[in-house]
Structure 1
Amino acid sequence: MDKISVGVKSQDGDTIFFKVAPEKKIQELLKCYCAEKNFKYKEYSFLHNGTRIQPTKTFLEVGIEDGDQIDVMGHQDGGGNPRAFTT
């Protein structure tokens, strides 16, 4: 099967493109991307069309096609002012 081109875009807007075999596990590309950007893999979530990706699946299983983009989002701890929820 021919390789597909997939863009991986971080929150700062930087996009890196990879040529991958569609039958490969997505996790391989994501770990390569994190190594390239000096990110810790477990500290990020990866989305395709707004849906979180299961990295153990292949590009074919998830429906990622040539020219598609994966968005990278950093995990965030906390999230709010507890006083905002009291009455």
Structure 2
Amino acid sequence: MADGEQNPPANMAPKPITVMDGSEVYFRIKPQTQFHKLMNQYCLKTSLDVNSVTFLFDGRRLRPEETPEKVAMEDGDEIDCLLHQVGGGGEDF
């Protein structure tokens, strides 16, 4: 690490967002920051419509007004991003 560089505070450790294809994008987010900021930035970076994806943490959907603190995120936790799917119901047998 170069002189003058500081480690980020522990509460701002990067949170990976894992996409369905297995790729990861990292964001730093403060414990009190609402997820809508992260969701919007992720969608801008990946050219996706925020209404076409769902963000999950520990198998449950994240709401935009929630915060990492509210959902008890810890360092090393991941957020999953899934694209909405249409169809797939199959035929009636």
Common fold by TM > 0.5:
yes
Residues 1-87 of structure 1 aligned to structure 2 (within 5 Å):
2-84=11-93
Aligned pair count?
A: 84
Structure with greater proportional strand content: 1
4+ aligned runs moved over 2 Å, structure 1: none
- The normalised TM-score by structure 1 is 0.86
SS of the residue 2:69 aligns to? helix
- The normalised TM-score by structure 2 is 0.81
Query: Could you list the runs of 5+ residues in structure 2 that have no partner in the other structure?
Result: 1-8
8 A contact 1:5–1:18 mirrored in 2: yes
Q: Distance in 2 between matches of 1:11 and 1:78?
A: 18
Structure with greater proportional helix content: 1
What do the CA deviations read for 1:6-65 (whole angstroms, capped 9, x no partner)? 100111111011111110001101110111011111001111111111121111011122
Q: Distance in 2 between matches of 1:67 and 1:35?
A: 24
Percent identity between the aligned chains?
30
Q: Distance in 1 between matches of 2:81 and 2:13?
A: 19
